[in-house]
Structure formats: C-alpha cells, structure tokens
Amino acid sequence: MTERVREASGVSTPAAPTPGKWGVAFRTGENLAITLCLGAMVLIPLAEMALRSTTIVLPGSGAVQSHLTLFLCMLGGMIAAREGRLLALSTVTAFLRDRAKAAAALFSGSFAAAITGVLFLAAYRFMMQTRDAGDILAYGVPRWLAQAILPLGFGLIAFRLILHAAKGWKGRVAALVMACVILALVVWLPVDAEQLVFPSLVLLLVATILGAPIFVTLGGAALILLWGEAFPIEIMPIRHYEQVTNPSLPAIPMFTLAGYLLAEGGAPKRLVRVFQALTGHLRGGPAIVTVLVCAFFTSFTGASGVTILALGGLLMPVLAAARYSEKNALGLLTGSGSIGLLFPPCLPLILYAIIAEIDIGRMFLAGIIPGILMVLAAGTWGVLRSPKSGVRKQPFRWAEAGNAVRDAKWELLLPVVALTALFSGFATAVEASAITALYAFVVEALVYRDLSVRRDLPKVMAECGLLVGAILLILGVALGFTGYLIMAQVPDLLITWVTDTIESPLLFLLALNAFLLLAGCIMDIFSAIIVIVPLMVPIGLAFGIDPVHLGIIFLANLELGYLTPPVGMNLFLSSYRFNKPMPFLWRSIIPILLVLLAGVLLITYVPFMSTFLPGLFQ
C-alpha cells in the first residue's frame, strides 16, 4: 500500500539522481531519525502516565514533546522533498506532454526553491534572535539549538526542489540559476516592493498551477504580502514555530500512526470479513461493507486517499461479485473514501479544535451523530443501487459471523480504547493518542504478527512520519499567511462586510456551504482549516452560531470537496487506483455526491445533531 500512496500523494516531478554511498547513508539516517522521533513521541506520554501515581516527574517533558513535533514536521518535509512527494494543489502536469511537462517542472521547481530559500533566510534570522536572547529549552539545552532544524530543513528542501526540477545536471544547474535570478530581482530591482506584489503573486499562481507544493503557495503568498507591507519576514518562522510546538498537536501524528499500523497489517482483510459476515445477507450488503470499512479507516488515518488506495483492491472485487455496475462501484468507493472524517479521532477534528481554541473532546463528540448521518446516507444510496435480481445472496451464518468477529476483536476494540482513554478522564488527548498508537502496535505486531518489528515497523513509521511531516509543514507556513491576514485586519473587514451584506443567519449558512464546497475543491483540508477557520469563526459568532456546530459544517463541506468535480483530490486518486479516465469518475460520483450534499444541508440547518452530545457531557 505504501508504494501506491507514495506515487499518488505528491506532485509529479522528475526523479532525483541515484544516490551514491553517502547519499544512501544520509537517506537511512533521515528515515531512522524520523522513526526515532515518532517513537519517542509515543513513549514520553506513556512514561508520564506510568509515573503519575508516584513522586517521580519528567522535568521538561512537555517542551521536549512539542519540539519532537517540530523535528517530525521538518524531517517529514525533508523526506517528502527527497521522494518528490510534497503535497501540491495542481495536477495539470498530468495532462502535459514531455517537453511541456519538463518546462513546467523547471519553472515551478525553480520558483519553489526561491521561495523556500527565503524561508531558510527568515528561519536563520529567527534562530539567531533566539540565540541572542539566551533562552533554555530543557536540561540546559539552548532553545536556538532545537530551532536550528528550521533553517536546516528549509535549506535541504530548497536543494531537493532544485534536484527534482529537471532530470539532468544541466537542467538542475539551470533551475538553480533561475532560482538565484528570481531572488536577485527581488533584492536588487530598483522598484518599490509594493509595486512588485501583484506580479509576484501572479508568478506564484503560475508556479502553483504548474505543480509547486502547497507549502510554497501559502508561504510564498505570506512572504510576498509581508514584503510588500515592509513587515519583517521573521514573522513566518515565528508563526511556524508557535503552531508546530502547540502542546496539543502531538495527538495528530500518534493517531495517524495507529491508522497506518492498521492499514499495513492484516486489519483491512479481517474487517472486511467481519462486515461481510454481518451484513452480507442483506440487500446491498457489499455497499454497507464498503461504507463501514472506509469510515473506520479514514477516522484513524485522517487521509481519505490512503483509504481508497489501501482498500480499493479489496472492496472493488466484493462489489463486482455482487453485480454492481462499474460506475456505481466506483462512485461508492470514491465517495466512501472521505466518509469517516467526522468520526473521532480523525485529524481534521483535532486540528479544527486547536485552531478554533475548542476542547478536542467536544469536537470528537460533536462529529459522532453527523458522521453517522453521512454513513447512513452513503450506505442507503449503495443499497438502493444494488442489483435487484441475478444476485445470489450470501446466507447469514452465525458461525462465520462469530469467527470473523473473534478474529478481528482486537482491531474492533481500537475506537473503544481511544475514546475510553480520552473521555474517562484517565488521559489527556495526547496521552490517549499515545495509548491508541501503542495498542495498534501491540495488536498488529505482537498479537497478529502481521508486522515484523525489525523489517516492517521502521518502514511504516517512516511513511507515517513523512505524511504527517508534510502536513505539518503546510500548517506552519499557513499560519504565517493567516498571521498576515490578521495584521492586515482582514477578519474585521470581512465581518463588517458579511454582516452588512447578509442579514439572515440561514442565508449566511447557505453562502458558507457554497464557499466551503469550493474551498474543499481547490485546497487540501489541512491548509483550509489553518487559513479559513480564523476568518470564519468570528463571523459565525456574529451570527450566533456555535463554533462547535460551525466546525462540523466546515469539515462536512470539505469532506465533499474531496469528491467535487473537476478537481476533487479523491477523484484523481481513484482515477489512478482503478485506471479510469477522469470524465468517467465525474459521472460516477455525481449521484452519491448529491445524496451526501443533502446530508451536509441537514447537518447545517439542524444544529442539534452537532451540539447534543457535547452539551450532554459538558
């Protein structure tokens, strides 16, 4: 599964040169470092919990844990750049021929390297300011020494962007020269910076369309706007540092690790067998199986693309055997790929809670009923599309159902373990995520022995760290962009404009749905949360909308954005996984998309579904 994710989750760039002896050693070191970093993040909260009943404490453990997240962010970004898998908004290069594709990669890579070079400079200045201040992190270690990973990371990412900008060394030298020329024009062109903001943003847009990574788009926009207003560029790494060292953020990589351990073990086959045994005798049973298994996995991985790539090969034959048409089967699989985003402990729920400054437990509770509604909507559509004749129904067998549940019992208990640890008061959100990751490891590596501790575990942890690091890299620079918007008083201006233009809260919610659906098409869910939530929450409060309800509306719409033609991310991943042309995917997805849209409107206009459980347990 990791090979398919590797090819489909990044941008299409020329291959980096084959590494020599030292290059292989450096790659191995990077993979080992990110594995150890993720492992330490799991062990520290567990150690704190074990020592809680004693008089022994771990001094500085909070600071160490949050800075491990910083290291995970930058190491993941460095490895993603090494593998050519930095997440991008545009897939236009997939439609270009060889020469045009090479030219697009050269320009977008050069421009991205130039922007990343500026981020390196800003991070270096920030690190030196911290060094001059003399701050201590923990155990006598200077804070600036930990912050050194920022310029180191951005510098290495810029270098690797140059390597991926062309296939040969001549092309790479040309990319380096082009990046230097871009920086030189910015520094020495005898024109006021304010006059260069618009053309610079246009060039950034072109680079984004041609495949520049998302972090370059958001970070570049922030740098250009800060430069035009004569604000110090150090604001970018300062915001990045503040965001990535948030004490609640370690929950994201650890819950994600639990999902990856499940996906890489034998859990997909065992869970498919369970749901088949329990629902296979019903009309549309295979559709119910598809929706339930996809929801289960997406709730832990937080990445619907991983769900499609990991489970597509298992579930497509199940639907085909039940005589579903290819169109309906593709529509159901593609639509179900993001169906679990509202269930705890999904990453977007955690991230929204952090950005909107809401208790993570409340967001987890708020997503349960709306999540069930979306599962029922997708499952009902799948049942209604099931063939009415010519299908041999699988009889319900108690023995098979019992055996299937017995075989998968430890994996079925995973959500119970996670939610019990969190809501019992026994553990914080970060500690609950560590317990969940440890439990998933024990189940897959020691109980079922589907994963080899020596052979498979380092690969799974490195792959998880790469994905999470690439996402956290986006989050850090996105907060810099949000910081500029706040300094420019954009939220205040937006509140005034919206409240003067729209009087009815119902009309505001309708307009919000349309806007978020569009945002979900053109932005990944994580950068959308960082950029849009700080603007949206104050407007929602002005209309008397509970921020928890607003968050569920937000995530439900972005869940649909993954599916919305022509550029929803799940459409591209499904097209890749099943080798189908995009127009065929568009036609396949529209029926279930309309059904899910009806579910989103219900979630929007019936706030009780989102606020009942948080209010009950408050």
Mean pLDDT of the 581-606 span: 90
| 281: confidence class by pLDDT, cuts 50, 70, 90 | confident
Across residues 369-382, what is the average pLDDT?
Answer: 94
Q: Which residues pair with 88 in a beta bridge?
A: 213
**Alpha helices per DSSP H over 83-213:** 98-133, 143-147, 149-164, 169-188, 193-209
pLDDT at 7: 41
- Helices of type H across 245-359: 251-264, 267-279, 285-301, 304-321, 326-336, 347-356
Stretch 507-520: mean pLDDT: 86
**Of the candidates 366, 318, 297, the residue with the CA atom closest to the CA atom of residue 552:** 366
In this prediction, residue 284 has a pLDDT band, given cuts at 50, 70 and 90, of confident
Q: Return the pLDDT at 493.
A: 84
In this prediction, residue 155 carries a pLDDT of 95
What single-letter DSSP state applies at residue 452?
Answer: -
Distance CA 324, CA 383 (A): 10
Q: What is the pLDDT of residue 580?
A: 81
Q: What is the pLDDT of residues 203-224, one digit of tens each?
A: 899 998 888 888 999 899 988 8
Strand pairing class (136-138; 141-142): antiparallel
Of the chain, the percentage scoring pLDDT greater than 90 comes to 30
In the block, tokens 């819950």 appear at 255
Of residues 261 and 426, more confidently modeled: 261
- Quote the pLDDT of residue 484: 81
Mean pLDDT within 340-361: 89
Q: Examine the pLDDT at 4 and tell me if it is beyond 50.
A: no
The predicted pLDDT at position 323 comes to: 85
Provide mean pLDDT across the span 393-399.
82
Q: Which pair of structure tokens corresponds to residue 271?
A: 């869970």
What separation, in Å, do the N-terminal and C-terminal C-alpha atoms of the chain show? 40
Helix (H) or strand (E) holding 136: strand 136-138
Q: What is the dihedral of CA 347, 348, 352, 358, to 10 degrees?
A: -50
Encoded amino acid at 98, one letter:
D
- Tell me the whole-structure pTM to 2 decimals: 0.84
CA 535 from chain centre, in angstroms, equals: 20
**Range 573-592 average pLDDT:** 82
At residue 95 the predicted structure's pLDDT band, cuts being 50, 70 and 90, is: low
Give the three-state DSSP class for 424. Answer: coil
Please name the amino acid found at residue 57. V
For residues 156 and 579, the model is more confident at: 156
> 46-60, 329-343, 481-495, 513-527 — which one is most confidently predicted on average?
329-343
pLDDT of residue 186: 66
Q: What is the average pLDDT score of the chain?
A: 85
How many angstroms separate the CA atoms of 446 and 438, rounded? 11
Q: How many C-beta atoms lie closer than 10 Å to residue 359's C-beta?
A: 14
Choose among 254, 264, 306, 255: nearest CA to 450. Answer: 264
Q: Which element (helix H / strand E) includes 409?
A: helix 409-412
| Interatomic CA distance for residues 462 and 230, integer angstroms | 40
Q: Is 436 exposed, middle or buried (0-12, 13-18, 19+ CB in 10 A)?
A: buried
Per DSSP, the three-state class of 123 is helix
Give dist(CA 43, CA 49) in Å, integer: 10
Which residue, among 468, 440, 430, has the nearest Cα to 47 in the 3D structure?
A: 430
Please tell me the distance from the alpha carbon of residue 234 to that of residue 226, in angstroms, as a whole number: 10
pLDDT for residue 93: 62
pLDDT digits (tens, 9 = 90+) for 242-258: 888 988 888 888 988 98
Burial class (CB in 10 A: 0-12, 13-18, 19+), 189: exposed
